[in-house]
Structure 1
Amino acid sequence: MRRSINCTTSDDRLPIPHKFYQPGNLVIGGIVSQVLFLYDNLSFKEQPTQMLLGEPISVPKNYQHVLALAFAVKEINENPRILPNISLGFHILNSYYAARMTSKATLNLLSTQHRFVPNFKCHNQNNMALIGGCISEISANMAIISASHKTPQMVPNEAQQYMGVVQLLQHFGWTWIGLFAVDDDKGNMFLQTMVQILSQNRLCYAFIIGIPKWDYMDDMIEVMIQHWESYGIVIKSKANVYFVYGEPPSFQVLRVLLFLAPFLALPPLGKVWIVTSHWDFASLSVQKIWDMQTFHGSISFTVHSNQPSGFQTFLQMVRPSWAKGDGFIKDFWEQTFNCSIKISDAMDENKETCTGEEKLETLPGTLFEMKMTGHSYNVYNAVYAVAHALHAIYKSRSKHKRLAEREEVAIQNMHPWQLHHFLSSILFNNNVGDAVHFDVNGELVTGFDITNWLMVSNGSVIRVKVVFLHASVQVLPLSVCNDNCYPGYSKKKKEGEKFCCYDCAPCPEGMISHQRDMDACVKCPEDRYPNKDQTQCIPRVLSYLSYKESLGIILTLLVISFSLVTTLVLGIFLKHKDTPIVKANNRNFTYILLIALLLCFLSTLLFIGQPGKAACLLRQMLFGIVFSVALSSILAKTITVVVAFMATKPGSKMRKRVGKKLANSIALSCSLIQVGICIVWLCTYPPFPDVDMHSLDRKIILECNEGSASMFYCVLGYLGSLAVVSFMVAFLARKLPDSFNEAKFITFSMLVFCSVWLSFVPSYLSTRGKYVVAVEIFAILSSSAGLLSFIFFPKCYIIVLRPELNNRKLLIGRKI
């Protein structure tokens, strides 16, 4: 038959909580409760209690850990498939946050009942395992003592939590945080590790506050006085997020600090708290009415938990008289329900008498939770882990023994150190379906839940398992050293400050930043340009003088108009070719000049439209050659006039040189020189279509690259030379007799021509894009129109409107 379970506890004070983590001391509740599993039952010794103003101090919420232990043992003892015919027993002692009490309790567990003899084994009982808290100092003291007995223990692995916090901070953009750590060796190790991890992930801490340790409430006043200035540091900081590495006593220190702040006219913190799995938002028995709103919205990495079936039903059955061996329930019941179990005590303390029928589900979450917490779930799994390991030993050692000898052989002759191997190799699913097993490092394979804590005004605590903050946190706070640098700005380092503290500098011209807090602005690709705010790159617009835009249409209409007028003038001269005014100054050169002017007007059409290879090759060459022909014709006409006049003087030898041969040679030679320049240009550095992405910020200029600027200015320079020579010759001939008065008009036309091209050069050099082309077109049109107007319009006036003046006698005798 299976022996019945007898639960005995050491003290009528509740243990204070902690977590069961991964392998190590199998945890029942925090720093305080050590649980011993034995084949038979043990009694206990009384321990001292904590007092404040005569009131016993406890953490009622942690009574669930005791109940989780009892529930697990009850399930195992009622399960015939685990340790058949064997009943588990347990013993609970309290450490009271004190190292000396932890040592004594551990020694008490490892000694025979009623015989406290350290370093000696005075009994035949083998202690199988301890389930205890993992507060650094408590666990260390347990480990030192229990190691000599080679009792199985576990050590927490906290690396997962650290990286989880880093990812959480990065997700919400919290780069400037406050660090709180318990003021002991483990807290110092945490700070060394965490500061390095933060720096590696571009995060900074605004301050580091050590959370004081205390063992008894009597020390609290002194602790508050010593650390009160820390509250001022926290208030002045810009950090809105605090990462806290502490343990239940540390949490109570913060609770007292925050509770006293309003009475000292200090502002509330109103920050986001991120805490490790060590913490549980639980109130001491004297803190029932204390406000918890400061911690509303806190985020914690809690031990993964689940809800074993039947646990809540088990809790509903708990009553003050439910187990004779439970030394905790009396104080728990009286302190949580504010009543007294004994009538005499109730009269003395002016309290109501407990009915014994009070319900646990009516208690606020800071005092007790009906759902199994992560710490209690670890206790539950720890009990099952030990039970399965014992069961494995039982099966392995009783294979070849007689049935009657199994219990004695399998269990009584087993030593604690032999449990290690079986614990590390177990793999089972608990009653909830969660797998329980250890990895190669002996660490429990488990994870952490990200929990959002919601503190309700009535004292209830709501745990929300989430990946992100619960919607009740209305607006996510900023937690940065300074305001973010918004797009269009980049970070500028502050001398002597941490890298999380910086100024914001606007991006230089031509550069952008498209994200917040960029370390440096970046240049846009060549085919894009920054927008006005310098926050994004916008595609550049193709820019060239198009036939579809207003400027292109106007210039095209001007070209057509001037071309029609030139054609009309040519037609008039052809129609009246035999009249004296047409024949007066070499009509062949008149025709050549008019055709050259017509081609000058039409050549500008090559400058309009998207530049192509053919257009780029032809437009400057055609313009240069045609203009040189026009100017050569004018020069030939002017020199012909001068030579003809000189030839009419008595004894002049110029008569022989007067004739078509002289004019033709002048026109031809001057034109061929320009043709030669253009051929050299084409053979060396010919023009080609090109793209200019730098002259204008917002546009890609499609243009014709002249190939060689020197050759281009050689063409213009030669045209300027012809114009200057023509102007000088015409100027000298302007006062010749009336029959040769065409020189006067040539003088004016050359003056206009030179003025236009002298103003063209600075305008050409100072403009960009399509306006460069427009300037050159305007120069060609205006200079050509000047030649057409001053040379031919007076003659057309006589031919068309005053034909009676178009005879030789009148022309010779008339002064124009």
Structure 2
Amino acid sequence: MAFMSHREIKLLATELYTHSITGLQWIGSDAWITDHSLTDSEGHKILVGSLGFTSPKAKISGLEEYLKQLYPSQFPDSQFVREFWEEVFNCSLNRTVNTQKQPCSGHESLQNIESQFTDVSELRFTDNVYKSVYAVAHALDMLIRCDNDQLSFSNESCIDPKHIKPWQVLQYLNTVNFTTKKGERVYFNKNGDTPARYELVNLQFTIRGTMEGRTIGIFDASLPERNQFVMNNIPVVWGNGLTEEVPVSVCSEMCLPGTHKVLQKGKPVCCYDCIPCPEGEISNVTSIHCAKCPPEYWSNKQRDACIPKEVEFLAYDEILGLVLVLFSLLGVFLTMVTTLVFYCHRETPVVRANNSELSFLLLFSLTLCFLCSLTFIGRPTKLSCMLRHTAFGITFVLCISCVLGKTIVVLMAFRATLPGTNVMKWFGPLQQRLTVLVFTFIQVLICILWLTINPPFPFRNLLLYKDRIILECDTGTAVGFCAVLGYIGFLAISCFAIAFLARKLPDNFNEAKFITFSMLIFCAVWITFIPAYISSPGKFIVAVEIFAILASSFGLLFCIFIPKCYIILFRPEQNTKKHIMG
């Protein structure tokens, strides 16, 4: 870009030509882009293809005729007219000053003379002077005619033409609005500016071998925005005429959406690398920085748009969820089969040996334990979050209470066989039912308090993963969740301790041994559950919790009921009171 006068650009073009520097695309200022004298410079070819905005070319009617009818006698005191006349006609208007030239008559004619003074083919800035003079004339006309429809000056009704002040003219000048003979409207905006009008000029060679500026486009700010800049159907010459490709003003290609600019060290600001936006950020326009997506959105693969994050939870239609459902239903099926076997053989010694009523209640609670695991699968809602934890806590306490009741029965039954003891009357069927009811009611009370004070609720976890949202159930308060698990753990440990004490009782079929082993499995599962629950990410927390429920339920079912079913179905000879009593 050359912002300089026509004299300076001539010197620059000559130096560039001397050093054979070609192929540059020049942007010129209006001071030289339309100057005809550029053709006279030695390296003017360097400037072919230059572009620049300049004032529009205008034709002032009557100006050429007026200039060619001028004579020195009309401007006797003008030094410019006298020197111009003597130079054009090579004569002297004053003999005493220059005796070597023939005298001028002062009546020579400019009609057939070609000079810059009479050349009106490139009237650009002259037209601005022409419109300025007319604008002042219109302002003075309104001021003298006392056109005060919109203006007033103190208490004066009109202005004295002999005492006009500049500020008065200025106020009328702001309201000027007229159209020139060529149809151009002249007015001023609120800032005192006229609408910008420019021509886009391209320096090209003519057929005569000279260089001239050709108008290839027009800009007019007074027109509607979409029509302000219009290109003419004239081919554009680029870069000294050595290329037909449109040059670019940067040394790097424009960055595509999804990338951002990284400036190259030690190079101009137009030199940069296009680097893809990081994950979670986008750019849909050419910019230096990428914009971060909102918290619940993530960038697409192209990094040019933010899309909603995928919401993840343990669903029924995925493989992990389907496997857990199948195991849960398998547990329900095996429990129902066991219940059917016990019901069909309810009068046999094996079934009646240790309170068949508690056995059926235990099987019922195990069925509920298997089914409650299904509430952990699927999209978490406010209802499902409250149901899954309370159902799990209550059904497991019911199950452990039944096991604890059976364990106490075994221990009391042995004590009752000792001479002088009658403890069974203190722990008969009624007391066993009350034990199960009281233990379960305590857990129900804990769950009611939990749901009343701060219940579980669905929670959108945005922190665990950057690209997706984990939809999970927040426990609401850790105290409530820990109280439910702690109460289950307390009953399980108590049951394990009592069963451990009764494991060496002398019966051939001592159920305490199987209860001990089942409680050992139960405690082991839930002890390992705690670190696995804390360290598991996302939906796998739910899977770990379901696995712990299923594993402990299967442990109770297999350890307590499978040995009895084996005797009932495959060893009927051992299903006698004599064999059981040893």
The TM-score normalised by the length of structure 2 is 0.70
Q: Who is 1:290 aligned against? A: 43
Q: Who is 1:634 aligned against? A: 403
Give the number of aligned pairs.
Answer: 495
State whether structure 2 residue 45 is matched by structure 1 residue 257.
no
> 1:600, CA displacement in angstroms?
0.8
The answer to whether the 8 Å contact 1:584/1:739 transfers is no
- Distance in 2 between the 1:697 and 1:440 partners? 53
Q: CA 1:556 to 1:794, structure 2 compared with 1: closer, same or farther past 3 Å?
A: same
The answer to whether the 8 Å contact 1:293/1:455 transfers is no
Counterparts in 2 of 1:498-517, with a 5 A limit?
512=282, 514-517=284-287
Q: Say which of 293, 302, 321 aligns to 1:524.
A: 293
> 1:596, CA displacement in angstroms?
0.2
Q: CA 1:387 to 1:692, structure 2 compared with 1: closer, same or farther past 3 Å?
A: closer
The answer to whether the 8 Å contact 2:10/2:44 transfers is no
The answer to whether the 8 Å contact 2:13/2:44 transfers is no
The answer to whether the 8 Å contact 2:332/2:370 transfers is yes
- Distance in 1 between the 2:391 and 2:431 partners? 26
Identical pairs, percent: 37
- Distance in 1 between the 2:307 and 2:237 partners? 40
Deviates more, 1:644-653 or 1:779-788: 644-653
> 1:625, CA displacement in angstroms?
0.8
Q: Please state whether the residue corresponding to 1:273 is helix, strand or coil.
A: coil
Cα deviations by residue, 1:689-714 (Å, 9 ceiling, x for unpaired): 33333333233333322211121011
Report the AA paired with residue 301 of structure 1. F
Counterparts in 2 of 1:188-203, with a 5 A limit?
none
- Distance in 2 between the 1:596 and 1:579 partners? 23
Structure 2 gap segments, 5+ residues each: 65-83, 91-113, 145-163, 219-228, 239-244
Cα deviations by residue, 1:662-720 (Å, 9 ceiling, x for unpaired): 53343333222222221221221122233333333233333322211121011112112
- Distance in 2 between the 1:669 and 1:381 partners? 104
> 1:587, CA displacement in angstroms?
0.7
State whether structure 2 residue 29 is matched by structure 1 residue 275.
yes
Cα deviations by residue, 1:398-418 (Å, 9 ceiling, x for unpaired): xxxxxxxxxxxxxxxxxxx99
Q: Who is 1:248 aligned against? A: 6
Counterparts in 2 of 1:405-424, with a 5 A limit?
none
> 1:751, CA displacement in angstroms?
2.0
Q: Please state whether the residue corresponding to 1:245 is helix, strand or coil.
A: coil
Q: CA 1:456 to 1:596, structure 2 compared with 1: closer, same or farther past 3 Å?
A: farther
- Distance in 1 between the 2:507 and 2:294 partners? 68
- Distance in 1 between the 2:299 and 2:188 partners? 57
- Distance in 2 between the 1:436 and 1:657 partners? 115
Report the AA paired with residue 273 of structure 1. I
- Distance in 2 between the 1:387 and 1:637 partners? 116
State whether structure 2 residue 569 is matched by structure 1 residue 800.
yes
- Distance in 1 between the 2:391 and 2:190 partners? 87
Report the AA paired with residue 55 of structure 2. V
- Distance in 2 between the 1:380 and 1:477 partners? 34
Q: Please state whether the residue corresponding to 1:644 is helix, strand or coil.
A: helix
Q: Say which of 419, 430, 433 aligns to 2:183.
A: 433
State whether structure 2 residue 313 is matched by structure 1 residue 544.
yes
State whether structure 2 residue 394 is matched by structure 1 residue 625.
yes
Cα deviations by residue, 1:179-215 (Å, 9 ceiling, x for unpaired): xxxxxxxxxxxxxxxxxxxxxxxxxxxxxxxxxxxxx
Report the AA paired with residue 451 of structure 1. L
Q: Who is 1:586 aligned against? A: 355
Counterparts in 2 of 1:81-120, with a 5 A limit?
none
- Distance in 2 between the 1:270 and 1:468 partners? 25
Q: Who is 2:485 aligned against? A: 716
Q: CA 1:270 to 1:330, structure 2 compared with 1: closer, same or farther past 3 Å?
A: farther
- Distance in 2 between the 1:522 and 1:310 partners? 61
> 1:450, CA displacement in angstroms?
4.4
Report the AA paired with residue 589 of structure 1. L
Q: Please state whether the residue corresponding to 1:703 is helix, strand or coil.
A: strand
Q: Say which of 44, 53, 57 aligns to 1:305.
A: 57
> 1:608, CA displacement in angstroms?
2.1
> 1:769, CA displacement in angstroms?
3.3
- Distance in 2 between the 1:477 and 1:593 partners? 83
Report the AA paired with residue 433 of structure 1. G
- Distance in 2 between the 1:589 and 1:391 partners? 113
The answer to whether the 8 Å contact 2:261/2:288 transfers is yes
Q: CA 1:547 to 1:607, structure 2 compared with 1: closer, same or farther past 3 Å?
A: same
- Distance in 1 between the 2:570 and 2:133 partners? 127
> 1:634, CA displacement in angstroms?
0.7
> 1:327, CA displacement in angstroms?
8.0
Q: Who is 2:215 aligned against? A: 463
> 1:514, CA displacement in angstroms?
4.9
> 1:763, CA displacement in angstroms?
2.1
Cα deviations by residue, 1:280-313 (Å, 9 ceiling, x for unpaired): 25444643x6353455252x2201124679999x
Q: Who is 1:220 aligned against? A: none
- Distance in 2 between the 1:682 and 1:704 partners? 14
Counterparts in 2 of 1:586-605, with a 5 A limit?
586-605=355-374
- Distance in 2 between the 1:798 and 1:247 partners? 115
> 1:630, CA displacement in angstroms?
0.5
Structure 1 gap segments, 5+ residues each: 1-241, 313-324, 332-359, 361-366, 398-416
State whether structure 2 residue 472 is matched by structure 1 residue 703.
yes
Counterparts in 2 of 1:348-387, with a 5 A limit?
372-373=121-122, 376-379=123-126
Q: Please state whether the residue corresponding to 2:27 is helix, strand or coil.
A: strand
State whether structure 2 residue 336 is matched by structure 1 residue 562.
no
State whether structure 2 residue 500 is matched by structure 1 residue 746.
no
- Distance in 1 between the 2:25 and 2:450 partners? 76
Counterparts in 2 of 1:483-494, with a 5 A limit?
487=258
> 1:803, CA displacement in angstroms?
2.8
Q: CA 1:522 to 1:766, structure 2 compared with 1: closer, same or farther past 3 Å?
A: farther
Q: Who is 2:383 aligned against? A: 614
- Distance in 2 between the 1:387 and 1:626 partners? 100
Q: CA 1:721 to 1:248, structure 2 compared with 1: closer, same or farther past 3 Å?
A: same
RMSD between superposed Cα atoms in Å? 4.9
Counterparts in 2 of 1:766-785, with a 5 A limit?
766-785=535-554
Cα deviations by residue, 1:191-245 (Å, 9 ceiling, x for unpaired): xxxxxxxxxxxxxxxxxxxxxxxxxxxxxxxxxxxxxxxxxxxxxxxxxxx3x43
Q: CA 1:372 to 1:654, structure 2 compared with 1: closer, same or farther past 3 Å?
A: same
- Distance in 2 between the 1:696 and 1:384 partners? 69
Q: Who is 2:81 aligned against? A: none
The answer to whether the 8 Å contact 1:246/1:276 transfers is no
- Distance in 2 between the 1:614 and 1:652 partners? 52
> 1:252, CA displacement in angstroms?
1.8
Q: CA 1:371 to 1:593, structure 2 compared with 1: closer, same or farther past 3 Å?
A: farther
The answer to whether the 8 Å contact 1:600/1:626 transfers is yes
Q: Please state whether the residue corresponding to 1:275 is helix, strand or coil.
A: coil
The answer to whether the 8 Å contact 1:647/1:658 transfers is no
- Distance in 2 between the 1:686 and 1:432 partners? 83
- Distance in 1 between the 2:558 and 2:193 partners? 102
The answer to whether the 8 Å contact 2:345/2:351 transfers is yes
Report the AA paired with residue 275 of structure 1. S
Q: Who is 1:451 aligned against? A: 200
Q: CA 1:440 to 1:674, structure 2 compared with 1: closer, same or farther past 3 Å?
A: closer
- Distance in 2 between the 1:472 and 1:736 partners? 110
- Distance in 1 between the 2:250 and 2:488 partners? 72
